[in-house]
Amino acid sequence: MTAILKVDTIQDTAGNNIINESSDTITIGASGDTTNIVGTLQNNGSAISIASLSTASGSAPSYSARAWVNFNGTGTVAIRASGNISSISDLGVGNYDVNFGTNMADTNYAVVNNSASSYSTSQEQWVLQGAYEASAVQKFNLTTRLVDNDAPSFVAHDVANAMIGVFR
């Protein structure tokens, strides 16, 4: 025999609402609670996957960055677009502190970066961006250099287009 239980709210023994139905929303647990789902969580009969919970579009798997930024590092540093980056401090030529909006859990994060600058291949110059120090949970330090094989030199250099992703 199948039984049907119709209620709007289920409470634990302390009187806390653990399941609450209101309009088209079902709330399980309270803010900050960990809720384990046994079985498959569905939306209109389709299983909800991690990919469908992210903001990614397309069919490729999504591995989320904890932070990212695209910025102009010449003159007055300017963030073009970012996620979880609150600001960038210009510490001098080719030297930046990149500050997180929300701190990392520890300093075991990875910084992936690239820069785009126009330099003549006939002069054999290019920008090396990749020296970073993850010694703090609230920021990391990034240095950029201009490599010139003709000189030869390896000098601090501001970059016009810096793109960075942070993973943990």
Q: What are 12-43's pLDDT values in tens digits?
A: 787 776 666 665 566 666 665 666 666 666 66
71: confidence class by pLDDT, cuts 50, 70, 90: very high
pTM of the model: 0.62
> What is the secondary structure of 148-160 as a DSSP string?
ETTTTEEEE---S
In the chain, the DSSP E strands lie at 9-11, 17-22, 25-28, 42-43, 46-47, 67-72, 78-83, 85-92, 95-100, 110-115, 125-133, 139-148, 153-156, 162-167
The pLDDT tens digits for 43-67 are 666 666 655 555 556 677 666 789 9
Cα(15)–Cα(136) distance, integer angstroms: 42
What number is the average pLDDT over the span 127-138?
74
